[in-house]
A and B are shown apart, each in its own frame.
Chain A
Amino acid sequence: MPHDHHDHMSPSGHPYRPDDDHPLTYWQQMEIAVRELLIEKGVTTAQEISAQIDAMDARNPAQGAAVVARAWTDPAFRADLLQDASAATREMGFDIGPMRLIALENTADEHNVVVCTLCSCYPRNLLGLPPDWYKSRAYRSRTVKEPRKVLAEFGVTLPDTTTVRVHDSTADMRYVVIPARPAGTEGWSADALAALVTRDSMIGTGLPKSPDTA
């Protein structure tokens, strides 16, 4: 009777998950203190903070994937996007804020990769949160010095004949990579193509998924 009368097992036979309650850190207490003081002073409200979090949660790489897929299927949009990515993505309905967004197109001869050496600037309003490694000191330090090695660690090995361009972001100027459209996707709809576009492929540390796996 392996599942009976065992303190660490639920009636379904799975182990209980341990409680995740531990004391708040100093910084968590600081966040509560700042938030409550700002609400008390009428600078903001709990409702506004909640709505802001909802908006942040709604941003994700699928937004960028829709932009990429449209660039692959709509030549006029592609031209607009490469000309002024802020305006082109706003026209698609994305609230990308005041920053200048620049689209970088990968081709057969050129691969683009994005970093922010000074901070961790990232087109959050289009792609959502940056991955943790993007904010890491190692990625920020090394990508500008040994990009091919960094890319290889992400599983992207490029022939020597491919030019690698590294783009260092700033708070006011952020980038999105338009990866090269995978071969074998002729005639695909924009929606089907968007499913191939990964977050990392829009940073340059990845490639789109192969159509065989989709």
Chain B
Amino acid sequence: MENDKGPKGYHDVGGDPAGDIPMVDLPWLHWEKQVEAIRGLLGDGTRRIVSLDEVRRGFESFGVEKYNTLSFYRRRLAAMTDVLIEKGIVSRAELDEAIEAGTLRWTDVDTPP
């Protein structure tokens, strides 16, 4: 759909056809709270590193497929991480390395003591 403001963004879903509203309250998972807490701290008055608008700009521009398949907090984390990399606070290489180290740490725990 287009108007004089140009094509509609994929996040602009108001009025689109849609099915039933899922009437379920899911628990708020701890890792999701951590994402929210970190985003809040990064955007606070003492830091001003990642604003809410920057996170929104991130997930409103990282592609419709990612937007449609990632859950709410995955979207927020992905967008926040993109902004952190863009601003040079962390690098992609550092992140990849940390994830790799984490994978080793968390897969090794199944061995009985």
Interface positions of A (Cβ within 8 A of B): 23-24, 26-38, 41, 43-44, 48-49, 52-53, 56-57, 115, 117-120, 129, 131-133, 135-142, 144-145, 150, 153, 168, 171
Contacts of B36 in A (CB 8 A): 56
Can you name 25 A-B residue pairings with CB atoms under 8 Å? A23-B106, A27-B73, A27-B77, A30-B81, A31-B77, A32-B31, A34-B77, A34-B80, A37-B95, A38-B84, A41-B90, A43-B42, A53-B33, A56-B37, A117-B12, A117-B15, A118-B11, A118-B14, A132-B25, A136-B22, A138-B18, A138-B21, A139-B21, A141-B18, A153-B23
Contact for B34 among A49, A120, A129, A141, CB less than 8 A: A49
- Knowing A29-B102, A140-B14, the reply to whether A49 touches B38 (Cβ < 8 A) is yes
Interchain CA distance A150-B23 in the complex, whole Å: 12
The prevalent SS among residues of B at the interface is helix
The answer to whether B15 touches A119, judged by C-beta atoms less than 8 angstroms apart, is no
Interface positions of B (Cβ within 8 A of A): 11-26, 28, 31, 33-38, 40-42, 47, 49, 52-53, 56, 70, 72-74, 77-78, 80-81, 84, 89-90, 94-95, 98-99, 102-103, 106-107
